[in-house]
Structure 1
Amino acid sequence: MGRASLILTTLAGAGAGAVITWGVMTHAGKPAPVPPPAHAGMVDPGDWLLEPGTTMEGIFQDGAMLLLEEPDQVTLHEPSDQPPGDAPDAIVHDGHAFQPVGKDAMVDPLLLRTARSISAYRAISMCEFKPAVLLRFTQGDRHLDLLFCFSCHDMLAFLDGKPCGGAGMSRDGDRSFAYHFQRLLPENAVLKAVVEARREAF
């Protein structure tokens, strides 16, 4: 066999092998790539998604949106220095006590806009909840309290003392809430640490 014929035979064999390999991988069950599990919250807490079709009314239930959108007053409260049993005037939800007098938050329209934006939220993580602050919306004698935890990135809502929904904080929401809260409470050590950590992370 001549040298040219040998080269042609070798190339033909290689081509046939490539075609066979392609056919086997295409038709013999090459596993499809697994989609990233961001929807299940397994990649990064900031990527957890709300269920399709979720609305603000789905996050803030039982008429809570009325207080969120049209409050007479908005205040930001730090945790109480005393446990709930020793602080009769404290605002208490699920064993978490907050100081009864808060800082005026109506002066920060960007904070209020963030609280009312669905892009600030994601699916709740259901981790151990240790809220750093309470944001209270008051309308007459009614109260909507939003508790924010920056370790599990979750927010829980209480309307007149009763649970009325909640959500996680999206990556942008978490960063925005931390920044605005720390501006209103500049001496709060927890919020200082949170803001600094977010600056390093982003």
Structure 2
Amino acid sequence: MTAPVTTTETGRRPVLLAYGVLTALGALFFAGSFAYPWTSPEDGTVGAGALPRTAGLLLAVLGALLIRQELRTGSVLEGDGHVEEAAEVTADEAHRMRTKLIVVVVTMVVTALLVPFLGLLPALTLMTLFLTAVVERQPLTRSVLVAVLVMALSYLLFIVVLRIPLPFGLFDPAVWSQL
């Protein structure tokens, strides 16, 4: 992890905007989670509202703390997009970074569109495989291993431990029982 490098420039508008979006997104998830129960009424286990409420609250608090940090110290981490000198990044490197960002955003949108068809875990597994193999250019065996581990850990955490109902898409037994 890179150590923070302090700068005299505080309150950079793009950074504050990004942190504000994180804070607002967290607040929206937190507020929206109250439409779901904290615990399951049938057996008292963790309900559908627990994850978005907890994650939303944590994201909102983290975003607010980052805004405070940016306003107070204006710290900059290496590689956070703050360019000290224009000569440090060549035009080719800047183009590669923009292309990579666009590919990641498009991949996330495609993944969200695949969730109703494939289910959440297979869609996220494919996204992880694509991002590690294609975007990050990791060896295929490592990429497959990371994707399988992400799927296994997600399954264990969300389905086995937390018992959160996830969309299964075509892998839903109810879909196959109708055929």
| TM-score class normalised by the smaller sequence | under 0.3
Between structure 1 and structure 2, the one with the greater Rg is 1
More strand by share: 1
Higher RCO structure (Cα 8 Å, ≥6 apart):
2
> TM-score normalized by structure 1?
0.19
Q: Between Structure 1 and Structure 2, which shows a larger proportion of helix residues?
A: 2
